[in-house]
Amino acid sequence: MRKKERALLIVEKLKGQYPDAACTLDYDQAWKLLVSVRLAAQCTDARVNIVVEGLFEKYPSIEALAEASVEDIEKIVHPCGLGPSKARDISACMKMLRDVYHCKVPDDFDELLKLPGVGRKSANLIMGDVFGKPAIVTDTHCIRLSNRFGLVDGIKEPGKVEKELWKIIPPQEGSDFCHRLVLHGREVCTARKAYCEECCLQEFCKKVL
Ligand code: SF4
């Protein structure tokens, strides 16, 4: 079976299994998702959701957070790990949004990449979730499962996986497809243990074939 056909079948299977694909970071404004995505590096979404409550209560707007000291941001986001670099990026990102983008998160992928602390994964997440545009978010679950399903072959580098998936996943399906891979990767096929007997994708899995 060609990779494209295989990908379409997997997209449909995942849709059936996880009808409600959504980002597990809580947010009600685009800039808040930008902050949360930066904090989510090497941290769980659940913890980020708790930590940002305090951050956004104290600094409820882009302007307010841009004015905050890096030290105070670091104190608040410390439980997410990597506090100094995350605080520096968040501060610089909010300043840039205020000074360059008139406090509006840009809806352009290349503009998003100019923001401090925003890489391809984060920019894709914002494009897909906030703006409803085509997106491929290559996080650890996406990379692991795309290899298991034979959608990519032994590729671990996020940018290369993204490039390969763009070729075979229908653009409008990309964002939800990646969210569903996260759900599957957390619930059924985790990095530590695969619960194959519960898996709806056995027929596509290299481990089982
Ligand atoms: S069959 Fe097992 S190893 Fe393959 S994707 Fe499903 S849970 Fe993971």
pLDDT tens for 93-106 read 999 999 999 999 99
- The answer to whether 4 and 171 have CB atoms below 8 angstroms apart is no
Compute the distance between CA of residue 143 and CA of residue 152 in angstroms, rounded to an integer.
9
Amino acid 125: pLDDT:
97
Task: List the one residue out of 27, 28, 62 whose CA is nearest residue 37.
Answer: 27
What DSSP character marks residue 189?
B
At 17, list the tokens: 């299994």
Amino acid 208: pLDDT:
63
Please identify, by atom number, the ligand 1 atom nearest to the C-alpha of residue 149: 5
Other Cβ atoms closer than 10 A to 90: 27
Amino acid 171: pLDDT:
95
Amino acid 206: pLDDT:
85
Compute the distance between CA of residue 40 and CA of residue 126 in angstroms, rounded to an integer.
14
121 is catalytic: yes
Low-confidence ranges of the chain (pLDDT < 70): 208-209
Q: Which amino acid is at 208?
A: V
Q: Which amino acid is at 74?
A: E
Give alpha helix (H) positions in 59-119: 62-67, 70-77, 83-100, 109-113
Within 13 Å of residue 86, how many CA atoms lie on the same side as its CB?
Answer: 26
Angle at 121 between CA 118 and CA 124, to 5 degrees: 95
Share of the chain above pLDDT 70, in %: 99
Q: Which domains does the chain have, with CATH numbers?
A: 3-22+135-204 (1.10.1670.10), 30-129 (1.10.340.30)
Please identify, by atom number, the ligand 1 atom nearest to the C-alpha of residue 188: 7
The residues facing 189 across adjacent strands are 194
Please identify, by atom number, the ligand 1 atom nearest to the C-alpha of residue 201: 6
- Indicate which residue of 13, 121, 129, 176 is catalytic: 121
- Indicate which residue of 139, 153, 160, 176 is catalytic: 139
**Helix/strand/coil for 29:** coil
Compute the distance between CA of residue 1 and CA of residue 19 in angstroms, rounded to an integer.
25
Question: How far is ligand 1, taken at its centre, from the CA of residue 197, in Å?
Answer: 8
Amino acid 1: pLDDT:
75
> Residues near ligand 1 with C-beta < 6 Å?
148, 188-189, 194-196, 199, 201-202, 205, 207-208
- The answer to whether 105 and 65 have CB atoms below 8 angstroms apart is no
**Helix/strand/coil for 176:** helix
Question: How far is ligand 1, taken at its centre, from the CA of residue 20, in Å?
Answer: 21
